[in-house]
A and B are shown apart, each in its own frame.
Chain A
Amino acid sequence: MKKYNKIVALLLVAAMALGLTACGGGSSAGNTLNVMLSTNVMSLDTNLATDGDSFEVIADCIDGLTQMDAEGSAIPALAESWDVSDDGCTYTFHLRDTKWSNGTPVTAADFEYAWKLAMTANVEYNYMFDSSVGAVKNADAILYEGADPSTLGVTALDDKTLQVELEVPVSYFPSLMYFPTFYPINQAFYESLEDGTYGTSPKTFLSNGAFILSDYTPGTASLSLTKNPDYWDAARVKLDGLNYQVVGSSDNALTGFKNGTLDIAVVGGDQVTSVKNDAELSKNLQVTGAGYMWYLSFSQTENNANGYLANQNLRLAFTNAIDRQSLVDNYVMDGSLATYTCVPPQFAASSTTGEDFSANQDRFKDVCDYNTEAAVKYLDAAKSELGVDTFEFTMVFGNNEGDEVTKVAQALKEQIEATLTGVTITLAPMTKAERLDKMQNDDYEIALTRWGPDYADPMTYLGMWVTNNANNYGFWSNADYDQLITDCTTGQYVSDYDARWSALLDAEKIVMDEAVIAPLYTKANANLIKAGVTNVEFHPVAINRAYKNAQIAK
């Protein structure tokens, strides 16, 4: 049977060769930036999109009335300029001459259409119009009382003039305009498409911004954009295009960056350490604020944990038993900031003084600190008030919310149990969806959760702790606090910026004094940026990365 051996060997070689046939790969050259995304782009429909990665790609392709400068302040984009009435309640935007990628001009009617569409579409971010954020006239009545969407306070006076009426003056209104929910949609194009297909392919998507969508299907792991030659500010755009690659794991991202497949990558945990230890790679490291803050939410209703967590001293015991610095140094490790305020630092600065709302992290040292002595004292007080000696709590957390979250949850359990004698924490890992479901149904005791700012004002956090707010998962309620927030959104402080600012600081103090939540850390991103790539702008709010000024050195 020797004869077969030769045949077999030959066939084997042939089969292997067949399998290996391939054209050699070479990364696309020139002025195209290869950028990593951590998750799928869920939607390119400005009304439907809800996640940061989708917002980033949308903002590459579509301009709003304003856009962010490098520092995050609103600067003119599609609106060349705008006037504000004396009472601060009417904005008149003057649009420049720009075109959609199908050649039709961008008009004020496109904005009016998009905004009214958001009113009817029952979408996640339409609350940005209501009195808690943008306070566009009649938004509350339309969204919550069933009024006619056409009564929304937005009118296209002519093709180039958009008038927006507000219920009350909103000091940060121009900066809301760079949020995708406020972007325009071309009515004729939108309505020519099959229901639900807007933004699901390059053919069903219109761009008016720096880049045009050239390759995309929902769920794709790679999508590409090319420079829009007809962009109104095309001279400023140096890149020929962008290739996005979805990479789910941090070690895979690091290898991809090392072999040159990725020009911009985000790494976490152990990979950050290995980057820092590498003399060459550490030069590429740039830590930027990711905006969102992780915190512990305590259910304060009778339904959970016998209502024990309604006890303020018990909550204060928790918040003082946590070594936040150790969490960020040993478990998160990507440059995230230990946070001792319930509004995280580095995203909201006063427009009059320029001071960061939470620059002073020692403001609440007396109630929120790593102070085991104080923690024990609070715990003893709680024990005698409740007449209980031992506590058992379950802490829910999402195990699909990032590599570090499980580690942080375990560390929290250790820290709390070590300091607070008699307290036992049981960890309950689940998906983020299940965690949210439990929190929304008030079926949890302690939750490790997070919140990202939607707009650059402390209200994006402080608004959550108002009685009956949908995000007030602890069901905490304080009449003084509610009054303060109402004064800031619709009451006496609306037209006095500095008074409002200090009222917000007072409101924050109430939240911290009563330990409504236990702030933990403000997430950062450890970015790897290829040498020679400059002027990529990073923002903690709304649009995380912007490439309109980005350059690649030759």
Chain B
Amino acid sequence: MALLTLFIIMFLLFLMVRIMPGNPFPSERMSADAIAKKRAEMGLDDPILVQFGNYLKNVIAKGSFGKGSSLYNGAPISTVLPQCMANSFKIGGISILIGTLIGLILGIAAALNRGRFWDTFCTVLSIVGVCVPSYVFMIFLQYFFAYKVTIFPFYFDASRFLSSSVIPALSLSLFSMSTVARFTRNEMVEVMDSDYVLLAESKGMYGTKLVTRHILRNALIPIVTVIAPLVVDLLTGALVVEKIYGINGLGKLMVDAISGEGIDYNYVLALGIIYSALYILIMLILDIAYGLLDPRIRIQAGKES
């Protein structure tokens, strides 16, 4: 099922990329003949289905996304992609960890202190976090912690990965942190009002055990559902943050592939496919996670089959 989805997505992507305006071989200095030759080399003059077939063959049989047309002057995508993926995945991963962790803590704190300081604090923070774009927060962090006080590098520096990923990771985590905090609070509040929590409390259950075993566990399903797409977003890079902070990641690569000198079909396609594949994979994991988190889903699924 997942593979079929991916196949359909690949085909649609392939069509859309071919329709996009722009020239894969922008050149002011090459003759029309030379450009025609380049197009022929890349098979761009073949019927679209033949092109797609060849592309698919290349991706599946050789595991290769081919060569770029204009970006990096036609270097094989395999020389460029791994570094970008590593950077985006690492920074995205850190920001997810930070975002989820702080978000959960904030949400729990708010739910347990409904109507009091922590609750208001958490609500305000969530609103700010959702409203303020991550790159604005990043520029703010950059200004105070890399310019006013030079704790962190002003631009991304791969040789000091940890210290230079703090600013982008923190700013990227803001959105997921706020989203997670808001959902955690709301779900927990709902669960806390339910009869079974009242029953548990009346039976003398309290404290950490009650929160983790009964309240949080029941609240986790919706929370995990919102985290999943955030994970893909963060892993595949943040366009603006990467561009401003100078991170060689997937987001920046996408911008360069589309709005560089020319449009680079193969890079756009490769990135689209990676994004879709990741999305599908995460959704698959999500489905499995549901069952683990909630026995009711497991039993339901068992009955149906």
Q: A4-B112, A15-B105, A219-B252 are in contact. List 14 more A-B contacts (CB 8 A).
A: A5-B109, A23-B162, A25-B146, A48-B74, A122-B37, A124-B29, A194-B76, A196-B67, A221-B155, A221-B246, A222-B158, A246-B246, A249-B244, A437-B21
Segment from B226-234, B257-265, B290-298 that makes contact with A: B257-265
Chain A residues within 8 Å of B26, by CB: 432-433, 436-437
A392, B108: Cα distance in complex, Å: 63
- Show 18 residue pairs from A and B whose CB-CB distance is below 8 angstroms, ordered by the A residue: A1-B112, A4-B109, A8-B108, A15-B101, A25-B150, A25-B160, A40-B256, A50-B27, A195-B76, A220-B83, A221-B252, A247-B246, A400-B259, A431-B259, A433-B263, A436-B26, A440-B32, A470-B28
**By the criterion CB–CB under 8 Å, are B248 and A12 in contact?**
no
Chain A residues within 8 Å of B173, by CB: 19
The residue among B76, B154, B211 with the most chain A CB atoms within 10 A of its own CB is: B154
Per-residue CB contact flags for chain A residues 1-22 toward chain B (1 = under 8 Å, else 0) read 1011100100110011011111
Chain A residues within 8 Å of B108, by CB: 4, 8
**By the criterion CB–CB under 8 Å, are A437 and B246 in contact?**
no
> Between A and B, how many residue pairs show CB distances below 8 Å?
194
Chain A residues within 8 Å of B74, by CB: 48, 196
| B71 contacts partner chain A, Cβ-Cβ < 8 Å | yes
Instruction: Return B24 CB to nearest CB of chain A, in Å.
Output: 9
Interface residues of A in 228-260 (CB under 8 A from B): 245-249, 252, 255-256, 258-259
| A127 contacts partner chain B, Cβ-Cβ < 8 Å | yes
The 6 closest A-B pairs by CB, nearest first: A221-B246, A43-B73, A22-B163, A48-B73, A8-B109, A218-B72
Per-residue CB contact flags for chain A residues 494-524 toward chain B (1 = under 8 Å, else 0) read 0000000000000000000000000000000
**By the criterion CB–CB under 8 Å, are B261 and A258 in contact?**
no
| B153 contacts partner chain A, Cβ-Cβ < 8 Å | yes
Evaluate whether A255 and B147 lie within 8 angstroms (CB atoms) in the complex, with A23-B163, A218-B80 already known.
yes
**By the criterion CB–CB under 8 Å, are B156 and A42 in contact?**
no
**By the criterion CB–CB under 8 Å, are A248 and B243 in contact?**
yes
Evaluate whether A436 and B72 lie within 8 angstroms (CB atoms) in the complex, with A1-B113, A15-B101 already known.
no
Evaluate whether A124 and B259 lie within 8 angstroms (CB atoms) in the complex, with A22-B162, A196-B67, A219-B72 already known.
no
**Residue in A11, A19, A200, A220 whose beta carbon sits within 8 Å of that of B170 in the complex:** A19
Interface residues of A in 533-549 (CB under 8 A from B): none
Interface secondary structure of B, over-half rule = helix
Chain A residues within 8 Å of B305, by CB: none
**By the criterion CB–CB under 8 Å, are B154 and A261 in contact?**
yes
Closest to A22 in B: B163
Chain A residues within 8 Å of B23, by CB: 433-434, 436-437, 440
The residue among B147, B162, B170 with the most chain A CB atoms within 10 A of its own CB is: B147
Chain B residues within 8 Å of A434, by CB: 21-23
**By the criterion CB–CB under 8 Å, are B246 and A19 in contact?**
no
**By the criterion CB–CB under 8 Å, are B261 and A432 in contact?**
yes
A124, B84: Cα distance in complex, Å: 27
User: Interface residue count for A (Cβ, 8 Å)?
Assistant: 66
Instruction: Return B195 CB to nearest CB of chain A, in Å.
Output: 20
**By the criterion CB–CB under 8 Å, are A24 and B112 in contact?**
no
| A274 contacts partner chain B, Cβ-Cβ < 8 Å | no
Evaluate whether A247 and B155 lie within 8 angstroms (CB atoms) in the complex, with A50-B73, A196-B75 already known.
yes
Closest to A430 in B: B21
Instruction: Return B248 CB to nearest CB of chain A, in Å.
Output: 5
Chain A residues within 8 Å of B41, by CB: 122
Instruction: Return A200 CB to nearest CB of chain B, in Å.
Output: 4
Chain A residues within 8 Å of B33, by CB: 144
Per-residue CB contact flags for chain A residues 435-451 toward chain B (1 = under 8 Å, else 0) read 01100100000000001
**By the criterion CB–CB under 8 Å, are A217 and B29 in contact?**
no
**By the criterion CB–CB under 8 Å, are B256 and A219 in contact?**
yes
A124, B261: Cα distance in complex, Å: 14
Closest to A47 in B: B73
A5, B22: Cα distance in complex, Å: 57
Chain A residues within 8 Å of B10, by CB: none
A48, B37: Cα distance in complex, Å: 16
| B285 contacts partner chain A, Cβ-Cβ < 8 Å | no
Instruction: Return A394 CB to nearest CB of chain B, in Å.
Output: 16
**By the criterion CB–CB under 8 Å, are B151 and A24 in contact?**
yes
| B300 contacts partner chain A, Cβ-Cβ < 8 Å | no
**By the criterion CB–CB under 8 Å, are B159 and A215 in contact?**
yes
| B106 contacts partner chain A, Cβ-Cβ < 8 Å | yes
| B152 contacts partner chain A, Cβ-Cβ < 8 Å | yes
| B18 contacts partner chain A, Cβ-Cβ < 8 Å | no
| B202 contacts partner chain A, Cβ-Cβ < 8 Å | no
Chain A residues within 8 Å of B211, by CB: 4
A48, B146: Cα distance in complex, Å: 37
**By the criterion CB–CB under 8 Å, are B156 and A3 in contact?**
no
**Residue in B67, B106, B150, B253 whose beta carbon sits within 8 Å of that of A219 in the complex:** B253
| B118 contacts partner chain A, Cβ-Cβ < 8 Å | yes
Chain B residues within 8 Å of A25, by CB: 146, 150-153, 157, 160, 163-164
**Residue in A22, A45, A215, A249 whose beta carbon sits within 8 Å of that of B151 in the complex:** A22
Interface residues of A in 414-436 (CB under 8 A from B): 431-434, 436
Evaluate whether A433 and B22 lie within 8 angstroms (CB atoms) in the complex, with A219-B248, A261-B154, A261-B155 already known.
yes
Chain A residues within 8 Å of B84, by CB: 219
The residue among B29, B32, B73 with the most chain A CB atoms within 10 A of its own CB is: B73
| B143 contacts partner chain A, Cβ-Cβ < 8 Å | yes
Chain A residues within 8 Å of B106, by CB: 12
| B38 contacts partner chain A, Cβ-Cβ < 8 Å | yes
Chain A residues within 8 Å of B101, by CB: 15
**By the criterion CB–CB under 8 Å, are A22 and B147 in contact?**
no
| A38 contacts partner chain B, Cβ-Cβ < 8 Å | no
